[in-house]
Chain A
C-alpha cells in the first residue's frame, strides 16, 4: 500500500481517477485525467517548502539503498561483516556491474515494515557497519573498482554498545581513509543525510544529492529542541538549516543535484535508479584521463577548501 503525505492527497485522487477510467476503458477520460495529473504534479512539486522536501526525503515509499541496488547492479554478490565483531544490517555492501562497469556499492539501508526496520536498525549504523564499509572501500581500491556510496540515515546509532565500540573512531577513520582512497568514488544522498553518520560514507570525488534528499548537521527535530528550546519549531529549524539539495548546491557544498523524476523517486523508482546509474557512470568516465594523483589532489582541495570565514 502506497502512503501519501498531506500535500500529495490531490495527486492521489487524480491517480485514482486515472485507474478507474482505465478500468472502464474510457480512453478519453484517461487522457484528460493524465493531463490533470501532470499539471497537479508540476504545481505541487515546483513549490515545495523545505519541510515538505524533508518529508519526501523520509517518505517510506521512497526507494532505499537496496531498491536501487536491485535495479542498477547486475550479477551482484553481497559481502558481509567487518571481520571483527558483526555484520551490521544498517549498511549493505555489494560487488557487481552497473551498465557493464565493475563496481563496489555501499549503502545505508532503512527497513520497510516493523520487522525490517528493526533488522536494519532504522538505518542507523553501529561502528561495525562503518568498519564493514571501510573494508569494502579498501577492496574496491585494491581491485581498482569505482565505488558508489548511497547515503540514507537519520544518523549513526546512539547506543551503549556503539559508544563502547567507539562509534566516534569508526566515523573519523572513514573520513580519513576515504579522503585518500585511490579509486574513483561517488557518494549520493538518496534520502536522509543525517550528520556524521551520513558523512562517514560521504567523502568522495563527487558528492551528489537526489533532488528530494536532505543533508544536515543535526536533525531539524534535534535542532529545534536545542536551539529553540521548543520541539514544535521543526519547520522553522528545517528552513534555517538549509538542508535541501537546491540550497546545498547554491552554497556549493555539494557537487551536483541528480534530477530525479519531478513526481519523486517514490512514484518512479526505475526513473530515479537510472538517473543514479547514469550519473555514476558519467562521473567514472569523466575521470578516465585523469591520473590518480591529480584526482586525489582535486579531492583533497575540494575537501579542505570548505568553509565560510573572513580574514
Chain B
C-alpha cells in the first residue's frame, strides 16, 4: 500500500512542477530516490532512467507521448456531470466537481477524441486520475459509448487508457450502471470486428477494471501498474493476512494470464501502432 501512496504523491507533484511552480525543477524518483531535472524526465516520458519506474502522468502528457503532433481532436468536452442524487458527504458532489474542475481544467475524468497513432486514425479515451481519482460516472460512460459509436461509424480502432479507482460513489447506481452501459457498447464494436486495445495504467481498479478495461481484444499494462477488482485494504481485511509481493501488479497479471503484455511507456506508441496496423489489416 505504501508504494501506492508514493505514486499518488508523485503524480500531484509532477503536475505542479510542470504547470505552476517554478522552483520544483528537480524531481525525485520515489522508487530509487534518484534526483532528476524535470526536462530530463520529461524527455524520458516520465520513466525513471535509472530504475524504469513509471511515474503517473496526466492526459496532456499521455497524448503527447502517443498521438502524432497536431492530430488530436477532442470530442464531447461539453458533457458535464449533474448531481442526480443531490449527494452530500463531507462535501457536496457539486462542490467536489467544482474543485476538481478548477484543479484540472476539465469537467470529467475522461478526455476522448480522435488522433493519429503513427498515421493510423484512432478513437481514444484517456482517463485522468487527478480528476476525482479517475472515477467512472455518467459523463465518463457517455464519452466512452460515443467514442465507440464514432469508431463504428468511421471504421476505426479504439484505445481506452484507464487510470481509475472505480465507479464514482457520488453518482451511486448511475455510476454502477456505466459498467453495463460501456460493456454493451463494446459488444457492438466487437460485432463490427473493429479492434479495441485496452491500456491499463496505474491504478485500474473496481468498476473500471470489472467492465471495459478487461474487455480489450488486446490488453496492455504499464510496468508496475496496480490492477484489480478489489482494493488491497479490503482483501487484507477479508483474508486476515498480508498480501504476497507484487500482488495485483501488471507483471502478476501477465503471469496469471489476465493480460497480453507489459509494455514500457517508451515503446508504447510503436506497440499500439503495430497492433492496430495488423488487426485492421492496414
Contact = CB atoms under 8 A, between A and B. Distances in A.
Given A216-B172, A218-B169, A308-B84, A175 B180 contact: yes
Contacts of A216: 172-173, 176
Nearest to B143: A309
B248 interface: yes
A271 interface: no
Q: Main SS of chain A's interface residues?
A: helix
A243 B177 CA distance: 13
A167 B207 CA distance: 11
Contact of B90 (A164, A199, A218, A228): A228
A202 to B, nearest CB: 7
B177 A309 contact: no
A199 B184 CA distance: 13
Interface string A231-269: 000000100111100001001010000000000000000
A101 interface: no
A307 B145 CA distance: 11
Given A171-B229, A175-B211, A251-B84, A215 B173 contact: yes
A113 interface: no
A98 interface: no
Given A196-B179, A303-B181, A248 B173 contact: yes
Nearest to B142: A307
A308 B258 contact: no
Q: Main SS of chain B's interface residues?
A: helix
B209 interface: yes
A195 B80 contact: no
A181 to B, nearest CB: 10
B89 A304 contact: no
A85 interface: no
A2 interface: no
B201 interface: no
B172 A241 contact: yes
A185 to B, nearest CB: 12
A226 interface: yes
A36 B177 CA distance: 43
A interface residue count range (under 10 / 10 to 19 / 20 to 34 / 35 or more) = 35 or more
Interface string B193-219: 000000000000011011111110000
Given A226-B169, A240-B88, A243-B172, A307 B215 contact: no
A215 B175 CA distance: 12
A116 interface: no
A218 B209 CA distance: 15
A169 B243 CA distance: 21
A203 interface: yes
B14 interface: no
Nearest to B234: A158
Contacts of B187: 176-177, 179-180
B38 interface: no
A281 B209 CA distance: 35
Interface string B88-123: 111000000000000000000000000000000000
A77 interface: no
B183 interface: yes
Interface of A: 156-160, 162-169, 171-173, 175-177, 179-180, 195-196, 199, 202-203, 215-218, 222-223, 226-229, 237, 240-243, 248, 251, 253, 299-300, 303-304, 306-311
The 7 closest A-B pairs by CB, nearest first: A158-B230, A307-B138, A179-B184, A175-B183, A308-B84, A227-B89, A217-B176
